[in-house]
Structure 1
Amino acid sequence: MKEFWQLTPEIESKATLLLVEDDQADVFLVKRALTKHGGNIHLATARDGAEALEMLRGKQIERPFVILSDLNMPGMSGYEFLDEIRADEALRDSIIFVISSSNLAEDVNLAYQHFASGYIVKDMDPAKMTRSMQLLFDFCEIIRLPS
């Protein structure tokens, strides 16, 4: 009798989470949540979209990676950052989650129109924000990412 499935060996890959955020308080919150999570995720930070692009194009961030980007940043906005990534043949398959304090439908829809992979609302309720970050960290560890 043939087996219809078999277990495959677990693939050990340490994902990098590139946080693109100009607010140092938000950077601290993500770092703290990641420390509590533990796991196998490396955190890299960029202050804006231009710095993040420089890091990605300069191969300072190795695959696999997931990007978590704020929308409202000085200089290059999160929307412009999404557009730059999607126009770059070497980076267009990047997984990019947007994080924003806005819960407005037009902002959410606009992020998806710019091909965001997901939209996370910065919640003032610590429990909800912790849950959002835990889901993101679990995603980084469980989902097979482009290499």
Structure 2
Amino acid sequence: MNSRGEIIIVDDDTDDLEILKEVYNTLPFENRLVVFNDGEDAYQYLKTPEAYPFLIISDINMPKMNGFELRDKVLSDAETSNRIIPFVFISTCANRTMMKTYCSNSFHGYFEKKSDFTEMTDMLDNIIRYWKNAVPAD
């Protein structure tokens, strides 16, 4: 895991992306933030040799390629699967049936988007701190 790598956020909702960028800018982390508004663009970026992110945070419900499809492609592709990149979902989707079905495949976390800026800040801070503490620094 590349603890100094960029943090990738994928979300098709431009308002949510702006809030997440604003939230991230209040946090003390030095990782570069890279945002995409669709899974296909994120996947193409992840396939490049210079892309070795620390963490991927993705919405679930997106056109073209949803978050589940993005995660599956990242894990099944030889170029991206060997990089050991934590992949978490952050979504307004609260469909427990869908999550239960998907939980049979492994993923690293699911969080519901918060409508309150402070709650969103706390959630994003906790996600990043968890993964920063999960492995020794590079």
TM bin, normalised by shorter chain, reads: 0.7 to 0.9
Q: What code does the residue aligned with 1:39 have?
A: F
Higher strand share: 1
Q: Which residue of 1 aligns with 2:14?
A: 24
Which consecutive residues of structure 1, in runs of 5 or more, have no partner in the other structure? 1-11
Displacement of 1:102 in angstroms is 1.7
Partners of 1:120 and 1:13 in 2: how far apart? 21
Identity of aligned residues (%): 23
Q: Which residue of 2 aligns with 1:55?
A: 45
Match of 1:45 among 35, 48, 54: 35
**Aligned-CA RMSD value:** 2.2
Displacement of 1:108 in angstroms is 2.6
Displacement of 1:104 in angstroms is 2.8
Alignment TM-score, normalising by the size of structure 1 = 0.78
Displacement of 1:125 in angstroms is 3.1
Match of 1:118 among 79, 88, 109: 109
Q: What code does the residue aligned with 2:48 have?
A: G
Displacement of 1:49 in angstroms is 1.2
Q: Which has the larger radius of gyration?
A: 1
The alpha-carbon distance between structure 1 residues 47 and 60, as it changes in their structure 2 partners (threshold 3 A), is farther
Alignment TM-score, normalising by the size of structure 2 = 0.83
Displacement of 1:74 in angstroms is 1.2
Which consecutive residues of structure 2, in runs of 5 or more, have no partner in the other structure? none
